Amino acid sequence: MSEKLTHYDDAGQVSMVNVGSKDITERTATARAFVAMSANVLAALPSNPKGDPLEVARIAGIMAAKRTPDLIPLCHQLPLSHVEIHFTVQADGVEIRASAATAARTGVEMEAMTAASVAALTIYDMTKALDKAIEIRQICLVEKTGGKSGVYRRQEGEE
């Protein structure tokens, strides 16, 4: 783990990381988010008059991953080779897993995290008429591969 924050120069000013001398490598990342909702809202998902919230959220997450550098100021624009969103409906909500891949000089963690976050926000937007108490929880990086720091896998129960 790095001993210093990389988005600051030696004078303490905000700086975009210079990745020009890094090797281009295959990089992947998977992020998770959880949308907690009541059983009534879960039961209504298939019959939402706006359309299937999970399919709309899938598209929103993919689009968001592609727009990450427009949303996060110091992110590099990356040539994404793949973005994938999976949903698991559980008794107390919907788990979202968003994965992104690239061959680049920097990782795709922010793209995966942005995809999971926007997918969760989209589910909220499409179901909020049924219950304003829906919560978005546990947005986190699950795994990343590639680059100088290698592989990271979140340990079970790690918060």
- The structure tokens 């706006």 sit at 50
What span, in angstroms and rounded, lies between the C-alpha atoms of 92 and 84?
Answer: 23
Mark whether 52 is an active-site residue. Answer: no
Task: List strands edge to edge, sheet with 135-145.
Answer: 80-90, 93-104, 25-36, 135-145, 152-153
Q: Which amino acid is at 100?
A: A
In the chain, what is the greatest distance between 2 CA atoms, to the nearest angstrom? 56
Choosing from 10, 23, 125, 131, the catalytic residue is: 125
The residues that are catalytic are 125
